[in-house]
Structure 1
């Protein structure tokens, strides 16, 4: 009776363990094989993909403001661009500039360690 209960418990444990890792893209196999990669469904809708595709056909600029250069040139990441107007620096790109600025201040000890490590 103990062996039967152990076998049933092992079966349930292995079945529940595989369901826990069902959403992972890599699974450990062990031995010489190592990992097996599994495709995971995307959360991007077909309409969004088609919209980006049509946009790239028209202007070679995708939804994230990156530029497809074509051929071996590849892809140019979106970059910030600025201009000076009325004596002030103005943003001319479409990238969000509302990210929080860090407020962390280094202590005197950290500043000394940083200077000794990274500054000539």
Structure 2
């Protein structure tokens, strides 16, 4: 049976993703509270959580979640490399993108409007270049 059809696997992915999203939100808000002082360990932890979400979504063929997490991961890599500073607009764009991931999970999947996902991806796009 493919993973994306296995209820147990889906439930585990959703639970783990929700936990990672909480960690990401806490980490991003901590970064926002200390502008100019980038905590490399915190950024790395957020990056790892985004990477794990991307990998799980890819395995389960949740393309929208995978795409959002991948784009966020690329931005977080630029922050890790010192190419971007996590200022308020960037933090807001990342938080909104991860809100879309949350909306795409489980029974809430039907509430995630495709235009909202695309708008949030577009908001991240300016940071990817």
State the TM-score, normalizing by the size of structure 2: 0.24
State the TM-score, normalizing by the size of structure 1: 0.25
The structure richer in helix per residue is 2
The structure richer in strand per residue is 1
> Which structure's CA Rg is the greater one?
1
Highest relative contact order (Cα 8 Å, sep 6+), 1 or 2? 2
